[in-house]
A and B are shown apart, each in its own frame.
Chain A
Amino acid sequence: MWRVGLVFGAVACFLSLAGLVEALHARWVVDGVLSAGQVLVLAVFVASGWTAAERSGWTPAGRLGAGVGSGATTGFCVGLLVWLAAHVNLRTMFINASPALFALLSGGRPPGEAWVGAVLAGGALGLVGALGQVAPSGLIRPVLVGLGAAVGLGLFQDLILLILQPEGFAPVRDWLFVAGGGPTARGAAVLFVISAVLAAVHPALRARPTRVLRLSPRVRRVFWSLVGIALLAALPLAGGPFVAQVLVIVGLYTLMGLGLNLEVGLAGLLDLGFVAFFAIGAYTVGLLTSTGEHGIAHWSFWAAVPVAVLVSLIAGVILGIPVLGIRGDYLAIATLGFGEIVRLLVLSDALRPWLGGSQGVLAIPKPVLAGFELSGPQHLYYLTVVASAVVAYVAWRLQDSRLGRAWMAIREDEDVAEALGINLVSVKLLAYGLGAAFAGVGGAIFAVMVGSVFPHSFQLLISIQVLALIIVGGMGSIPGVIVGSVVLIGLPELLREFGEFRFLVYGAALVAMMLLRPEGLLPAAVQRRELHVLEEQAEPALVAGRDAAAEGGS
């Protein structure tokens, strides 16, 4: 109980000192009452109580006690930080240890008083968390959903306000939001109630055997795809250029994710140099179409794209050949090495006459379609959606093909796959080549979107982001890739204040995902089944031989 409290106390102090709390404090969840930063701190306290109660398998009363104790311990840590900040200048070390942060944490009270307050409040919040463990689960879900909806209203207020821009929505807008500020208390409360009730009713609805409309699965699928297409088509029109821009970026990451998914998700080849293929696609289009100094052909975008895809594919195969015999983590590092070599070469002065060095390739014209220039993000959005749809279709067909099954076989065990007659060389090279080609499509669109390509846009960071999104979405799953890029790329774009912390969250998400839900948010069916079988097998072994740990897997 104390240890849980201390761990969460350390988490709360870290989040505060890392600047996340203060950054989110700028956004109201309920205007004038509660900020997102405060929600974050409260959530840590509640989680502290929740975890402590979960760990202590006593009576309900004991669990509640553990929650209170843990919450109070967390409060003690936060109080200690506030007290410390009042007596030592933490700011010489921690750049974000600003007076504003401590005013927020202490609620403006003097440090001694705030310390006591933090312990008491922590205890109370810990109790709330522990109640969550004790209360029936039928009650918890609606409350969580309701809270999520209310917090979401605050976090994504920019987007919601954009959608509510038209004059017709003015009453709703004024009712939900304070003019020029965050959500109103009544708006948040009503949203909480509505979504909680919906969440409570939802399982009951689903359980009813009879449906109002009896449709065949096929018709239903067509219906939902039509709805999906209509939504996809309408989104940028409703949201304007900003939303379209975000969606284009999501689309580009989806393209890369689909490519990396072939390599990592299906074939089990962890590639950390993946951004190199995105760069190759972008540079090919840049060089072929640019009207600037480095342009070599002045082609149109449409002529350049197939070449870009082909060049990426060949690059994928060429970089794939040397690493054919390498497996596992060595493969990850070797591909990382290749990715960095490509970036450093492009950046170097040695290749500047051809590739422009750090200045990059400029003046890439926008694509023109039947005399109509696809200029703004809203136009490029449709291009991205079409490209993503085509690539997703190809990926989907590949997945269940003979080749896709061969990939999965080498993912599971290369030696066995080879023994079964799978040609490792061609199958692996196809994974590298096709994955790279998908990324090349993304790179081509990226080049025209930005209008110029710089080596700086192709950092290792992008490879890691793409890896993170397919892992969060669910390895080997195409819907997972889309969900992953919406969650990891789209949402942070909408949360301005969050910008510089997104990578922090990616890192944490990778670790947390592997620990808690290794199959991802929307897993492929095979993966889900497998990982759960693995868990069942691993559990008794863990208990039996914890200390006599053998080398896993070998």
Chain B
Amino acid sequence: MTEGVGSLAAGALRRPALRRLNFVDAFLWAFRLAVILVVVWGTVGTLRLGRYTGEQWVDFVVFGLAQGGIYALIALGYTMVYGILRMINFAHGEVFMSGAYTAYFAAAPLAASGFLNQHPILSLLLLMAVAAAVSTGVAVLVERVAYRPLRRAPRLVPLITAIGASFFLQYAFRGLYGSGFKAYPEFELFKGEWQVLGVGILRTQAVVLVGAAVLMSALYQFVMRTKVGKAMRAVSEDKDVAALMGIDVDRIIVLTFAIGGAAAGAAGVLYALVFKQVHFFMGFVPGIKAFTAAVLGGIGNIPGAMLGGLFLGVVESVGPALFLDGLGIVAPYQLKDVIAFTMLVMVLIFRPQGILGERLAAKRA
């Protein structure tokens, strides 16, 4: 999924215009330097303090990877939709929420009947299937109602319907399922730690990591190997030519939403395993972070989304301790999301093409 050369050239052309704006440039450099300074200062401070043991750092990283795997799965939905429609599916966080929240109503009776702990793997797969099905349904519905009629509208219009759809879904699920937190049942099998290479790893996190890795590789293979995947890549390259080649573009777009939704739903169950509760508003923050992950990796780029997700997860998990503790900031964990959002803003400002740098649509970005 690569962008045409035209937009890269347009990006290059825009440069001189920005060059003239000296005070803006200076401001941006000051911003960069300030962030770098905070990071370096904080890191040095923390390491000198030596408050955390090596094992704790490993814990942070593993937790970050598990969380990052979840972000990566959600990010796939953003990135695939962006690759094809060049739009941000703002409601994708709610697609994620809908699956996880609905799967709770399957998990609760399973736990009550004891089935959950007799067949934990089967139950987990079952829950993921339920969540994926619901999220797929919601994603396809949103596409049908809020995006498809506006395929040719000015750019602001689908973005606004996306925000509306996101809001609508949040409060629709609040109305349907109530506004309280629901405690996800715990798997007995996944309590405690496993020893991997002499390091203790929380079992839930290992399960989440493995689950995310399996799903991501399956999805990647699907996009790269199957005929439908090929059609999706063709549509993201050029819709008109793809249509001329006999590809039903509308069908492929629906499929893209469906697959992104399914991945988000499955991610929802993994998220619930880690955080052990679901709520109607739970989709917002992971949604934004997954979007950050998608942009970090280069939006429209599937391996990029995976990489971006893992990277964001680790930074967010290690960051508060590493960067902020050393600055003597009180309760740095409260600022975990600030780190994520700062990364989001920084990447949007300084490197909208992402780490893998495949596309920069200056006109669109």
Contact = CB atoms under 8 A, between A and B. Distances in A.
Contact of B363 (A14, A348, A509, A554): A554
Interface string B267-288: 0000000000000000010001
Given A334-B345, A547-B249, A511 B239 contact: no
Q: Say whether chain B's binding surface is mostly helix, strand, loop, or mixed.
A: helix
B288 A333 contact: yes
Contact of A18 (B108, B172, B335): B172
A95 B176 contact: yes
Contacts of B334: 344, 347-350
Interface string A325-338: 11111101110111
A490 B279 CA distance: 29
Interface string B225-244: 00000000000000110011
B159 A329 contact: yes
B364 A327 contact: yes
A93 B28 CA distance: 50
Nearest to A534: B154
A222 interface: no
Nearest to A510: B164
B157 interface: yes
B161 interface: yes
B153 A518 contact: yes
Contacts of B364: 327-328, 554
A511 B175 contact: no
Contact of B24 (A18, A324, A345, A471): A324
Contact of A553 (B155, B169, B331, B349): B155
Contacts of B172: 14, 18, 504, 507
Contact of B21 (A338, A425, A471): A425
A159 B24 CA distance: 52
B175 A345 contact: no
A495 to B, nearest CB: 16
A98 to B, nearest CB: 12
Contact of A337 (B288, B329, B331): B288
Given A17-B176, A504-B171, A506-B167, A548 B153 contact: no
B344 A333 contact: yes
A541 B152 CA distance: 9
B163 A510 contact: yes
A96 B341 contact: no
A403 to B, nearest CB: 19
A550 B249 CA distance: 10
Contact of B175 (A92, A96, A338, A348): A96
A507 B166 CA distance: 7
A442 B34 CA distance: 32
A322 B349 contact: yes
A348 to B, nearest CB: 5
Contacts of A96: 175-176
A541 B284 CA distance: 36
A468 interface: yes
B175 A515 contact: no
A500 B174 CA distance: 9
A337 B348 contact: yes
A76 to B, nearest CB: 21
A17 B341 CA distance: 36
A328 B205 CA distance: 37
B216 to A, nearest CB: 23
A302 interface: no
B208 interface: no
Interface stretch (B114-122, B142-150, B307-315): B142-150
A341 B342 contact: yes
B250 A553 contact: no
A433 interface: no
Contact of A94 (B14, B177, B249, B295): B177
A504 B175 contact: yes
B105 A93 contact: yes
Interface in A520-550: 534, 538, 541-542, 546-550
Nearest to A323: B349
B27 A321 contact: yes
Contacts, number: 218
Contact of B239 (A272, A418, A509, A549): A549
A86 interface: no
Contacts of A548: 239-240, 243-244, 249
Contacts of B109: 92
B156 A328 contact: yes
B152 A552 contact: yes
Nearest to A468: B164
A96 B173 CA distance: 11
Contacts of B24: 321, 324, 425
Interface string B314-350: 0000000000000001111011011001101100110
A268 B21 CA distance: 21
A18 B176 contact: yes
Nearest to A93: B105
Contacts of B345: 322, 334, 337-338, 341
Most buried by B among A17, A460, A534, A549: A549
Nearest to A92: B105
B335 A515 contact: no
Nearest to B82: A329
B31 interface: yes
B152 A547 contact: no
B159 A19 contact: no
A427 interface: no
A514 B352 contact: no
A352 interface: yes
A459 to B, nearest CB: 10
A551 interface: yes
Nearest to A23: B175
A225 B175 CA distance: 43
A340 interface: yes
A329 B88 contact: yes
A481 interface: no
B27 A551 contact: no
A343 B268 CA distance: 26
A247 interface: no
Given A324-B24, A327-B365, A94 B151 contact: no
A340 B292 CA distance: 14
Interface string B72-112: 00000000000000111010000000000000010011000
B178 interface: yes
B248 interface: yes
Contact of B341 (A321, A341, A506, A542): A341
A20 interface: yes
Interface string A16-36: 011110000000000000000
A506 B167 CA distance: 8
Contact of A344 (B18, B27, B337): B337
A464 B163 contact: yes
B168 interface: yes
B175 A328 contact: no
B17 interface: yes
Contacts of A515: 146, 149-150, 161
Given A508-B164, A511-B146, A515-B149, A549 B341 contact: no
A93 B152 contact: no
Interface in A300-327: 321-327
A185 to B, nearest CB: 31
Contacts of B37: none
Interface of B: 14, 17-18, 21, 24, 27-28, 31, 86-88, 90, 105, 108-109, 145-146, 149-161, 163-172, 174-179, 239-240, 243-244, 248-250, 284, 288, 291, 295, 329-332, 334-335, 337-338, 341-342, 344-345, 348-349, 352, 363-365
12 contacts: A17-B175, A324-B24, A325-B349, A326-B349, A329-B90, A337-B342, A341-B338, A350-B332, A350-B335, A507-B168, A514-B160, A534-B153
The 4 A-B residue pairs whose C-beta atoms are closest, nearest first, are A510-B164, A507-B168, A18-B175, A507-B167
Given A337-B342, A509-B164, A546-B250, 6 more contacts: A340-B288, A418-B17, A507-B164, A507-B166, A542-B152, A553-B155
